[in-house]
Each structure stands twice: as C-alpha cells, then as structure tokens.
Chain A
Amino acid sequence: MSNFLKNLFGISLAVFVLTSHATTAGTPLGIGTPISKLEISGWNIDARPDGHGLPKGSGSVEKGEIIYIEQCAACHGDFGEGAGRFPALMGGYDTLTSSDPNKTVGSYWPYATTLFDYIRRAMPYGNAQSLSTDEVYSVSAYVLFVNDILTEESTLNAKSLATVKMPNRNGFILPDPRPDVKKVACMKDCKTEIIIESFARKIAVTPEIKKDPSN
C-alpha cells in the first residue's frame, strides 16, 4: 500500500473513532501521542519516600563535601548554616516550639527522599538539573552528614536513601483539621472595648507608596 493510501486509511479510521465516541463521557478522544519509556525518563525526575523514582547510582559524604563547597556553600554556608536570606540547611533542633522556629533539613524535613528530589530538580540555584545522579546522591549525603543524620564515612544509593530515618519524621499532622475556628456571627454589642495591639506605621518597613488619590 502506498504511503498516501496508508495515511488516508489512518485518517478515515481516526474520524470514525471520533464520530462514534465523541459524545460518550469518559471515552478517549484519540488526542495525544503515545510516549516511550526512554522519552519519559529524561523528564521523570521525582523521588518518593518509598523509594519510587530514585535512580541507580551512589554517592558519598566525602565526594559530596567537595561538590557542596564549590556549588552550594556560597548561599547555604560551608556547613549548611545559611547565608543572608538564603535558607539554612542544618541546625534548628529543638526550635520548633520556640518563638523563632528554624525549619531546616535536620530539624523539620520528614523524608530524606525529598532532599534528593529537590536537589536533583532545582539545585544549584540558577543551574538546575546540572548535577549527575551520583553527584546528587553525594550532596544529599553531605547535607545529611552536617545534620548528624549520616556519619562521615557514609555512602548513599536508592536503597539506603529510602531507609534514612529523619528526626522530625513524626512531626506532621494529617489530615487537615480545619475549620478550626468555629463561631457564630455576633451582630450587636459584641465587644465592650477596643484595644489597639499593633500599628503597621510604627514598624516602618513598607516600601514607599505614593498615597496620591489620583493614582
């Protein structure tokens, strides 16, 4: 059969499928192209706590330190202590009930796989998805090491990463308990006095806005 006839046949078959099913809810329209596992693999970069998605490869704290100092320390500090407004990656233990909670990988993150997933997709900041799989394992190992979750001699791979127990693993409440405030709408004589607790003007951190009514 000529290519012309094959194409013609393909088109008329597609039209037949469309017209026979278009009005049935939930039935495919035949739009979209099948994609191969190889094509998916280039974009499929997520990792889940059960290890789903973690790629083959391995890294070590030792190699991770070298990469970290070169590519991460400028924003996150040599030991993950943070720099300027960039987030700290370590420390903050026992601060979650304080008035200044420091939510770091070590003090807050419930899963080590999240660290791997995030470095792999978004770091280094401004040069995302540039690290090899082994380098991502190594940097993950180093960040866990500075949080005293791994020892200095440790290595990481798909199997060992999924078994890392994070200190704040049980620190989360599910499902959402809201609505947590339950009240009726009082309409009259709801309060006896008004006390002003805070004034934004006294803090004076607002970028300038011209309060010109014509703008």
Chain B
Amino acid sequence: MASGLAVAAVPTIAMSTDLNNLPPHVPSWSQELGDGVDVSPYGTPSKFEKKVIRRTVPWLTATPESSVSFTPLAKLHGIITPNGLHFCRHHGGVADINYEDHRLIIHGLIDRELIFTMDDIKRMPSVNRIHFLECAANGGMEWRGAQLEALQFTHGMISCCEWTGVKLSTLLDECGIKPKAKWLLAEGADASGMTRSIPLHKAIEDCIVVYAQNGEMLRPEQGYPLRLLVPGWEGNMSIKWLRRIEVGDQPWHTREETAKYTDLMPTGKARQFTWFQECKSVITSPSAENPINGKGFVEIQGLAWTGHGKIQRVDISSDGGKNWQSAQIDGPILGKALTRFRMPWKWDGKPAFLQSRAIDETGYVQPDFTELRALRGDWSIYHNNSVHTWKINTGGDVENVQLS
C-alpha cells in the first residue's frame, strides 16, 4: 500500500536538521571514533530522545510525594513499557529500601507464621508473566469532558511489563492456609503503609509476588525489592514495597477501598470492590503527540487491553463511530496484557474523527462515554474505559475531543 503513495509524499526537513550531515556530505560520526564500551556501564536512551519522559500534571495533587506521573504512550512501540518510563503512583513517596533489610511477613489464619528474606523468596520456584498494570483513575480527568490535550495524560497511567517472581499461591502453601481463610491484606513498607484487601480466590488464581521487571530487579519507584502484582485488577491493589500479608476471614475496608477507589453513582450510593479493569483501547498514532505529516499513507497504531483475559478484536472508525473496520492485531495476544493493533489508512487531508473500540474474549464491547455516563453519571472518577476520539484537523494536527 505504501509503495503506491510514495511519490505523492513531499519529504519535510525538521528545523533542527543540520544539512551538513545529509548526503552528499559525510557526517562526523562516520569519520570520528565514538565512545568506548566502558563509557556507559548502565546505558541510557539516545540524547536525541530526551523528550520521551514521564510527565506530571502538577495541579492534580497537593504534593509530588502523593501523586502520579504518566507514561509517554505515544512515543513507545510494541507492548513492553521500558522500566524508566513506567508510570508512577505513590502515596508516600518512593521508599528507598536495602535488599538486605527487606522482609516479608505472612501471618494470620495460617498454620505457620513466617518471615522471608529476599534471598528466601528468590530461592523459591519462579514465574515470568507479561501483564498490564493500570491505575483505576486512568482517564479519570476526562469524565466531565475532554480536558487534557495529550495521550500521555489521557491514558498514560498504564504500562505492560514482563514480571518475574513467585506465585502468591506458592508462598501461601509454605504457610498452610486455614479452612476459614477468605481474604488477604497486603501491606506496603512505604510511608503510606498502603493496604488493600484481596479475596483469597484471586490470590490463588494468578497473583505474583514480584522482584523483577523486564529482566532486571524492580525499580525503586515500582516497589524494589518486592511488590505484589494482581493481574487485570486496578493498579492500586498491586501493593509496592510489599512487607506484610495477613490472612483473614473478611475484608479490612481500608481507606483506599472505601474512601478512595470506590465509584460514587448518581443515586449517592457507591460501588465498592470494583476490581476489574474492563476492556479498553486507544489509538497511539496519530495522536496529539503524533500529528500527521501530510496527506497520504498513515499507519494507525494503538493499544488494547482487558482485565478479563485476551483481546479478541479491535475496530477502527475514521468518521466518529458511524462506520467501523476491524484492525490487524500485531504481535502476541496475551491474557491481561497490552495488545498492539494496526491499520493502514489513507488520509485525504480533510478533518476526521479517529476512534478505536476493543472487544475482549468474553464478548464485552468497549463502551462510548455516552453509554458510561448514562449509567454512572457525569461525576465519576475511576474505571473510565470509554472509546477515545482524536479529531484530525486539516493541518494534520490532532486534538482530544468528545462526541455525543
């Protein structure tokens, strides 16, 4: 498809381009020696990618220690989030914990109350799993209408990594669960002492006590040296800096699962224990950060995910949802993981409204804002999994709008 359009595109030269580096000239890097292998013992991205960073919205929160930074989704490729760009949500800053001094205690309704060192945990049978992690508040600022102008802020509280650790069920087997046990309390060692109640069936199904992320030990801001991962459920439950698990027969109703991560409905009643992150997708290019550079061939790219398993299909509309076409799924389709989709498109230079709509293996179809608001009102915060609209303007710039 691209070859037929090649002659139509006029190459544009960015303002920062040095013409002396373009043919027929020979650039300096083709003549002089570069850095040796000993210059950068732990590598960093190219200095020409320095704008690909986590960003914050300072007006959102009172202090940066209890706040959020967003992943630059528009500038990433594939399904894996680089460790340095994983979004951060802390409630008491980043705990700076020495591997040697970290301990995990498991106690309560079990036969053997145990304390584990990090070496103990790394000695146990391990698993690798690729899973997304999404904050329940991802997209929360958009509930009342289109508000933030970049994909980084409308959708950047999601990541997907290869996580390595020990199945929580393995650790629980070590302790011997008593028959009365139904719930766990997971607690962090940070200054917020983050705690969430987790039903035992989920703990046994697929929770992982994680020490590594994309092949290296966890970053401090992701819970080094040990965190919980609760696949497919709201990110707040994946307790970082995990120091204690208590086994009990009922939930604890902690502050985060009563006062915070609950969904107040128009009736004045609030849904509690809304754990699943439902099926969602977004187009990452074109997007506000990836404008279209002239008429012609455009590859529409995006990400889809669901807390209920695997993505089955993604549809794309360029006319604001009047007509849809199924996209190509590219790369692995893994359970509770980001999934890439692509579709070739020819932009005619006219305004367009790009949308993606994902369907998961349960048959659930990603809803529109109008459908979500009809049920949950205009003032909700969490669990926004609405279809997102990018308005393509005649200049190729892209803006965030909401349609009815």
Binding site for B on A (CB under 8 A): 25-29, 31-35, 39-40, 43-50, 52, 75, 84-86, 96-97, 99-101, 103, 105, 108-111, 113-114, 117-118, 121-122, 125-126, 128-129, 171-181, 183-192, 194-201, 203, 205-207, 209-215
| Chain A residues near B376 (CB-CB < 8 A) | 180
Interface residues of B in 302-360 (CB under 8 A from A): 313, 315, 319-325, 353, 357, 359
What is the total number of residues of chain B having a CB less than 8 Å from a CB of chain A? Answer: 113
Q: How far is the CA of A46 from the CA of B379 in the complex (A)?
A: 31
| Chain B residues near A173 (CB-CB < 8 A) | 265, 269-272
Determine whether B273 belongs to the interface, using a CB cutoff of 8 Å to chain A: yes
Which one of B34-42, B78-86, B129-137, B147-155 is at the interface? Answer: B147-155
Q: How far is the CA of A183 from the CA of B370 in the complex (A)?
A: 13
| Chain B residues near A197 (CB-CB < 8 A) | 145-146, 401-404
| Chain B residues near A86 (CB-CB < 8 A) | 62
| Chain A residues near B125 (CB-CB < 8 A) | 29
Q: How far is the CA of A122 from the CA of B244 in the complex (A)?
A: 15
The answer to whether B173 and A176 have CB atoms under 8 Å apart is: no
For the complex of A and B, list the 3 residue pairs with the smallest distance between their C-beta atoms, beginning with the closest.
A121-B193, A215-B51, A85-B62
Q: How far is the CA of A200 from the CA of B244 in the complex (A)?
A: 43
Determine whether B128 belongs to the interface, using a CB cutoff of 8 Å to chain A: no
One of B105, B145, B175, B288 near A198 (C-beta < 8 A):
B145
Determine whether B227 belongs to the interface, using a CB cutoff of 8 Å to chain A: no
One of A111, A128, A203 near B146 (C-beta < 8 A):
A203
Q: How far is the CA of A196 from the CA of B351 in the complex (A)?
A: 13
Determine whether B253 belongs to the interface, using a CB cutoff of 8 Å to chain A: yes
The answer to whether A28 and B105 have CB atoms under 8 Å apart is: no
Given A31-B174, A46-B252, A175-B273, check contact A205 B115 (CB 8 Å): no
A33-B114, A34-B113 are known; give 10 further A-B pairs, CB within 8 A. Answer: A27-B173, A40-B113, A110-B253, A117-B254, A180-B376, A184-B365, A194-B322, A201-B400, A203-B145, A207-B56
One of B115, B246, B266, B270 near A32 (C-beta < 8 A):
B115
A–B pairs, 29, beta carbons within 8 Å:
A35-B107, A48-B248, A48-B250, A49-B253, A99-B379, A105-B259, A108-B258, A109-B259, A111-B253, A117-B254, A125-B63, A128-B191, A183-B371, A184-B365, A185-B324, A187-B325, A194-B320, A194-B403, A197-B146, A198-B145, A199-B399, A199-B400, A200-B401, A201-B149, A205-B57, A209-B55, A211-B289, A213-B290, A214-B14
B187 to chain A, nearest CB (A): 7
Determine whether B274 belongs to the interface, using a CB cutoff of 8 Å to chain A: yes
Binding site for A on B (CB under 8 A): 14, 16, 48-52, 55-59, 61-63, 65-66, 75, 91-92, 105-107, 112-116, 120, 123-125, 145-150, 152-154, 173-176, 185, 187, 191-193, 195, 243-244, 246, 248, 250, 252-255, 258-259, 262, 264-276, 278, 288-291, 293, 313, 315, 319-325, 353, 357, 359, 362, 364-365, 367, 371-372, 375-376, 378-379, 383, 391, 397, 399-404
The answer to whether B148 and A176 have CB atoms under 8 Å apart is: no
| Chain B residues near A190 (CB-CB < 8 A) | 321-324
A37 to chain B, nearest CB (A): 8
| Chain B residues near A184 (CB-CB < 8 A) | 365
The answer to whether A31 and B116 have CB atoms under 8 Å apart is: yes
Q: How far is the CA of A128 from the CA of B320 in the complex (A)?
A: 50
The answer to whether A114 and B258 have CB atoms under 8 Å apart is: yes
The answer to whether B273 and A174 have CB atoms under 8 Å apart is: yes
One of B52, B253, B267 near A114 (C-beta < 8 A):
B253
